Structure 1
């Protein structure tokens, strides 16, 4: 019978928190104690004896009523010996000397909302008591924070955006409980990692847990309104990471930079519930924008119902000291022509800050050493935690103060010049808007990146406009300035990037495929062009130079951590995509004899293969065509060597002769390779991924053998002994368009 009564009592104690969580959470919340439960937490501690200082503090702080049965709660109770040590260490002879506000904060930190038995504190499950055994082993121990009755008084702050004084509400503190399951799940050593942040405490939770800075001496003492845990020392109320920064002037530069993103959000629920009590109409929460972690807030969310988030999510900040940041400015941004930290663009600064924060779980030193924790760019944090002087466990995460600062991974990547150089800022906005920063920050791959100047970006119709609420990369349209979408920015960045590291050579001719398929960089004797620029040499009236100077941009004389970066001359504007209507259209509409492919187009027209802007058989797909030179076609016509045409001749008005349409069409189709009947991922050039192989031409009866010898390109039809060799007049560079490419060959088939 006693067992049955005990089970009933425990059932009520275990499930009462679930009932309370389902109700609206008010500060005056209380419950009626059933007749069969006796002994409140207050009465239990009074009866045990040795807790007189703590109980006196509870009474002074105004919490006696909730300990005496008005609320269900969990108490972390330091005995008189522990409290005497605390008072002496803080210069008090009696608890009565502690400021009332500080005492309320101190005592409240020992009083947890709701009732937690030992198992729940070891491995709290946000889904409740119905969690399966399998689920209990998922993220075991990582729901480690528990809401207390400790809160700081509202503060008055100035909203930088409006200049107005506002009242900021401070939510109640959460108490970290580090169980042995917490360390097991993180797969790191409990003792060294716990004592890293609590050097004056001792890890003793091998089979249980430590509560912030205290060890538990007695577990799960039952009272009618919850559980009591005897601890060996008074719990020091934890502050936010932001408060720690405020209290350490040696990190004031980092704090001020972080604070430049401050935002104050009006909270209607808090205002309605507590505004009148405080004497204000509006209460606000202090965050730092939508991207940076809200390190000034005690909770990761203002919703008390988000149990899973509240119990697990923390932040870690690795703040460089003033000296470290100033040194970094001198060795990095000053070389990019910035005059001061305040002069650095906000986007670049935001990405600097991002590299010194972690969102998710509190970070411990072993995780840094093991490289298992990464910043939001996927790069491990790179510092020796043993050299960190200031390390603080906070109510919303962990704080590391760094006296030394290495080049942040993002800034040391191939994107470095865009972050560093003031005159390449527009490209930084392009990188950011492309959503590809993480890819180019990774050290698991290497890249070669061209970094255009702001002037080149503007010439390419990518203009960085400066507005009061921030800078925006825009393009001018007939309707005014329009923001540039991520798709266009991705294309821009991909055409400026190679997917491997290349030391762009100063001699010879070279072709490099950009990350945007079928778009190329051409190098000749150390000068650069792209396929869109190079195609201009076909234009009869073009008298420019498609090649521009190329200069390597280094990290103080060294290459970047994951590749190389280059600047290019601005005589041709911005490297871009082929913006014509494509090769098929270009060939189909040609009627100007000055073009080097005029003779071949006239053959197509004579064969009735051209209709408007289309060539029969291509069906709008990607294709490759090997075009005989005009001289080769003239010779073949003179010798009646072109099947389907006899007594042919070429003039500026076209081709004359006797035509057999079917024969001529089949013959001309043999010069084309289409992706509708072949697989290829690259255009042909010396060393390309267009491999030596036999390809099906548009003529279903004819195949073409393609051979790259390493110094020349040859093509041959299976029904002919004649070999066409790509002419060297154009450095074996392909004339590459959005839908196809061509090479000139020195003979007809």
Structure 2
């Protein structure tokens, strides 16, 4: 009985175990919708033997066979045979190992991308506010070149080992062209004339059409293609391989720089420092596979990596030489000698870093250079057309002349004698305003020698320092500081540069012209063959005033060169009128007025002249004769101080309260109310009327009497202007 019971129990256990095995097998059984890994899927199709053979000979077999997530772009055997025939290879084995590795890797996209993800990739997440569908068109692949060695010309040819990042693969979705509002077929085939646009309901992958979309595998997706995807090169390499563009490439390389890559050095350096080759912060990094070099090479910056393209519109050697002959040959022996700043202007007018640029966008006037100028040419003008891993190349048989070479700025960009003024104008953001056709400018151009030898700002010497002639950015303008030379500040550059740019003529009489400058309430006086800034005019030193001779006439103005053995540049006046009134260096016609100021002690308050409240002012200085006459007539008090102060305050005019945007000059039709800082006996603010009589200005007082202002060219200081008035006005 016991044996029968034991046998029954054993049978029950066996049945139970069999039932459990069956359940586990069912639980872990591969779902019907999974077809295996990418390798197995392609192998089962039977017509991808050449691609799989190539994968097998590369280092990526394990990845394709399931040892990682990957999206595989697989050309069929027909596509691969066509590729081998075109390249002259007898078979897969004939492809050099390095090239084969690069080729296979370019068909392997990081991560797993569905059809919808390729069509409208959103690196910032599906909630991204960007409504330009398809605009993120580049995807990171496994393909990269071996490290290369370059000679850093800025540092005596020191060798730099450069790491090359993985290539990005362009996927041209129908959404991309719809977002850009351009024709898909015409713009796609412009760069891929041997390919057919078939992406109306999906996308083309670089030069290939997709036969089958998004075949699901257990390690990603497979897309089958009608062509082998040829690995794209950088914009730099695409141009470098074309001898017709060597002058452009050599000019671009003068700005070459090397950014140390700490992460790459740790991961791949093997004891060597690794660098990314760039071209500074102002030109696109056309030699870098990745398009976020300026802000640091970082694979997490997917928005920049997937969207940004460096588009270059490169003139050929013939066009470059013609430009050199026209604009630079009088000053430089060859292109390699041209200063960095004008060369940068030329190059910057031939690049656009932003969205990928198609020809229809150019013809519609939608593309601008970093200088803000329109990139304009017909698509047929490009004899070289390349879609690149980091942008596009348009090789032109013409040069896009930057407007800085044709407008009034032209001498600054042509003649190296004006390098310091050019630097100051660029730092001050004056260049773009100077290109306007709405203003007729007059430029007065001091040479570098004049600035360094004869010019000071607030008594401080100015020097041009070039610590490395081969390194862009090693050139600085310096000024004497408390501890020696220091870099000139932008506001200092702006004050000097702005004073050499006349924006309009205020008044012209005989051989005298008054110009307004870029600096508010700063003027230039040209008298005969000489020109004066306020600082030079106030000194009365004729030797320091430069002569000016015409350099050229341009669509938006004229330019003159300044000269003179002891002449100074047209620096602004930095002295305060408040200080000059009582200074020992004050003009002789201030003498009696200065005595009244001292008697009133208004220069001794804290701060001095505190009633001015820090406002810009005009002071109407009674002539010495007028003060003497008024004193004799009992109109001018000499004590007590408070009474003298009350007498003087109406002679100080509040520029802002009077609504003046310029100091007044005779011959300009002035007819305006002047609001003073003084009050009459009723406590009312004293006001006058200023009237232009043609030859001179007159002040009309409270009683309607006219008082001649003898000053034609006022003395102008940092805080105000002084005019001599021939008689004493009544304030009530």
Q: Please give the alpha-carbon distance, in whole angstroms, between the structure 2 residues aligned to 1:666 and 1:716.
A: 20
Change (3 A) 1:481 1:186: same
Q: 2:499–2:517: 8 Å Cα contact kept in structure 1? A: yes
Q: Please give the alpha-carbon distance, in whole angstroms, between the structure 2 residues aligned to 1:328 and 1:567.
A: 23
Aligned to 1:579: 574
Q: Please give the alpha-carbon distance, in whole angstroms, between the structure 2 residues aligned to 1:368 and 1:661.
A: 73
Aligned to 1:497: 501
Q: 2:503–2:515: 8 Å Cα contact kept in structure 1? A: no
Deviation of 1:355 after TM superposition, in Å, equals 2.5
Q: Please give the alpha-carbon distance, in whole angstroms, between the structure 1 residues aligned to 2:324 and 2:168.
A: 37
Change (3 A) 1:660 1:281: closer
* Consecutive unaligned residues in structure 1, runs of 5 or more: 1-32, 646-654
1:505-584 superposed matches below 5 A: 507-525=510-528, 527-537=530-540, 544=542, 548-554=546-552, 558-559=553-554, 562-570=556-564, 571-580=566-575, 582-584=576-578
Deviation of 1:74 after TM superposition, in Å, equals 1.4
Q: Please give the alpha-carbon distance, in whole angstroms, between the structure 1 residues aligned to 2:337 and 2:437.
A: 29
Deviation of 1:745 after TM superposition, in Å, equals 2.2
**CA RMSD, 1 decimal:** 3.0
Q: 1:378–1:442: 8 Å Cα contact kept in structure 2? A: no
Q: Please give the alpha-carbon distance, in whole angstroms, between the structure 1 residues aligned to 2:585 and 2:189.
A: 82
Aligned to 1:221: 215
Deviation of 1:676 after TM superposition, in Å, equals 7.3
Change (3 A) 1:137 1:615: closer
Aligned to 1:314: 309
Aligned to 1:707: 691
Correspondence for 1:292 among 283, 297, 310: 283
Deviates more, 1:151-160 or 1:100-109: 151-160
1:92-103 superposed matches below 5 A: 92-103=89-100
Task: Give yes or no for the alignment of 1:463 onto 2:463.
Answer: yes
Change (3 A) 1:676 1:295: closer
Aligned to 2:715: 735
Deviation of 1:697 after TM superposition, in Å, equals 4.3
Deviation of 1:453 after TM superposition, in Å, equals 0.6
Change (3 A) 1:259 1:676: closer
Partner SS, residue 65 of structure 2 = helix
Partner SS, residue 334 of structure 1 = coil
Deviation of 1:163 after TM superposition, in Å, equals 3.7
1:117-132 superposed matches below 5 A: 117-128=114-125, 131-132=126-127
Q: Please give the alpha-carbon distance, in whole angstroms, between the structure 2 residues aligned to 1:339 and 1:545.
A: 35
Aligned to 2:705: 722
Q: 1:71–1:225: 8 Å Cα contact kept in structure 2? A: yes
Partner SS, residue 617 of structure 1 = helix
Deviation of 1:326 after TM superposition, in Å, equals 1.8
Task: Give yes or no for the alignment of 1:379 onto 2:362.
Answer: no
Aligned to 1:434: 428
Deviation of 1:443 after TM superposition, in Å, equals 6.1
Deviation of 1:519 after TM superposition, in Å, equals 0.9
Deviation of 1:497 after TM superposition, in Å, equals 1.8
Task: Give TM-score scaled by structure 1 length.
Answer: 0.83
Deviates more, 1:735-744 or 1:454-463: 454-463
Change (3 A) 1:689 1:426: farther
Aligned to 2:663: 683
Aligned to 1:151: 144
Aligned to 2:652: 672
Q: 1:680–1:690: 8 Å Cα contact kept in structure 2? A: no
Deviation of 1:677 after TM superposition, in Å, equals 5.1
Q: 2:234–2:287: 8 Å Cα contact kept in structure 1? A: yes
Task: Give yes or no for the alignment of 1:75 onto 2:68.
Answer: no
In the TM superposition, what whole-angstrom CA distance separates every residue of 1:83-111 from its partner, at most 9, and x where no partner exists? 23222222234333222221222222122
Aligned to 1:588: 582
1:407-418 superposed matches below 5 A: 407-418=401-412
Change (3 A) 1:221 1:621: same
Change (3 A) 1:506 1:100: farther
Q: 2:611–2:677: 8 Å Cα contact kept in structure 1? A: no
1:687-698 superposed matches below 5 A: 692-698=672-678
Q: 1:426–1:463: 8 Å Cα contact kept in structure 2? A: no
Deviation of 1:419 after TM superposition, in Å, equals 1.9
Change (3 A) 1:139 1:551: farther
Deviation of 1:661 after TM superposition, in Å, equals 6.6
1:130-209 superposed matches below 5 A: 131-132=126-127, 135=128, 137-160=130-153, 161=155, 163-209=157-203
In the TM superposition, what whole-angstrom CA distance separates every residue of 1:18-66 from its partner, at most 9, and x where no partner exists? xxxxxxxxxxxxxxx9954442222222223322222222223343322
Deviation of 1:166 after TM superposition, in Å, equals 4.6
Q: Please give the alpha-carbon distance, in whole angstroms, between the structure 2 residues aligned to 1:34 and 1:487.
A: 75
* Consecutive unaligned residues in structure 2, runs of 5 or more: 1-27, 456-460
Deviation of 1:575 after TM superposition, in Å, equals 0.7
Q: 1:669–1:697: 8 Å Cα contact kept in structure 2? A: yes
Q: Please give the alpha-carbon distance, in whole angstroms, between the structure 1 residues aligned to 2:585 and 2:481.
A: 33
Partner SS, residue 185 of structure 1 = helix
Change (3 A) 1:63 1:611: closer
Q: Please give the alpha-carbon distance, in whole angstroms, between the structure 1 residues aligned to 2:228 and 2:508.
A: 68
| Aligned residue-pair number | 679
Deviation of 1:187 after TM superposition, in Å, equals 3.0
Change (3 A) 1:96 1:616: closer
Partner SS, residue 449 of structure 1 = strand
Change (3 A) 1:708 1:139: farther
Partner SS, residue 611 of structure 2 = coil
Aligned to 1:104: 101
